[in-house]
Amino acid sequence: MGQPPKEHSYDVVVIGAGVIGLSCAWRIAASGLSVAVIDRAGPGAGASGVAAGMLAPATEADFGGQGLLALNLASAARWPGFGADLSERSGREAGHVQSGALTVAVDRDDAEELARLHAFQLDLDLDARMLTRSECRELEPGLAPGIAGGVLTPEDGFVEPRALAAALAVAIDADGGELIIAMEPEIEVTGGRVTGVQTLAGPFKADNVVLAAGAWSAEVAGLPPEAIPPVRAVKGQILRLRASGAPPASRILRTPRCYIVPRAGGEVVIGATMEERGDSHVTAGGVRELLEAAWEVLPETDELKLAETAAGLRPATPDGLPLVGRSAIDGLILATGHHRNGILLAPSTADGVAALCNGQAMDTALAACDPARLVAAPRVEASP
Ligand SMILES: Cc1cc2nc3c(=O)[nH]c(=O)nc-3n(C[C@H](O)[C@H](O)[C@H](O)COP(=O)(O)OP(=O)(O)OC[C@H]3O[C@@H](n4cnc5c(N)ncnc54)[C@H](O)[C@@H]3O)c2cc1C
Q: Which of 13, 14, 19 to mutate to test the pocket of ligand 1 (most atoms within 8 A of CB)?
A: 19
In this prediction, residue 4 carries a pLDDT of 52
Instruction: Answer yes or no: is the C-beta of 41 below 6 A from any ligand 1 atom.
Output: yes
Atom from ligand 1 closest to the CA of residue 235: 53
For residue 107, the CA-to-ligand 1 centroid distance in Å is 34
Helix (H, G, I), strand (E, B) or coil at 260: strand
Tens-digit pLDDT profile for residues 101-157: 999 999 999 999 999 999 999 988 999 999 999 999 999 999 999 999 999 999 999
Beta-bridge partner residues of 232: 316
DSSP annotation of 357: H
- Ligand 1 centroid vs 314 CA: distance in angstroms? 6
Pocket test for ligand 1, best of 82, 314, 333, 349 (most atoms within 8 A of CB): 314
CA of 166 relative to ligand 1 center, distance in Å? 14
Is there a contact between 330 and 194 (Cβ–Cβ < 8 Å)?
Answer: yes
Q: Does ligand 1 come within 6 angstroms of the Cβ of 203? A: no
177 close to ligand 1 (CB < 6 Angstrom):
no
Q: Which long-range contacts (CB under 8 A, 24 or more apart) does 346-349 make?
A: 346/19, 346/20, 346/23, 346/75, 346/82, 346/164, 347/23, 347/75, 347/78, 347/79, 347/81, 347/82, 348/71, 348/74, 348/75, 348/78, 349/20, 349/23, 349/24, 349/75, 349/322, 349/324
Residues of the chain with confidence (pLDDT) below 50:
1-2, 382-384
What value does the CA radius of gyration of the chain take, rounded to a whole number of Å? 21
pLDDT of residue 1: 44
Distance CA 13, CA 39 (A): 11
CA of 356 to the centre of ligand 1 (A): 22
Ligand 1 pocket member 347 (CB < 6 A)? no
- Look at residue 109 in the predicted model and tell me its pLDDT: 94
Question: Of all helices (H) and strands (E), which one includes residue 137?
Answer: helix 133-139
pLDDT digits (tens, 9 = 90+) for 194-217: 999 999 989 999 999 999 999 999
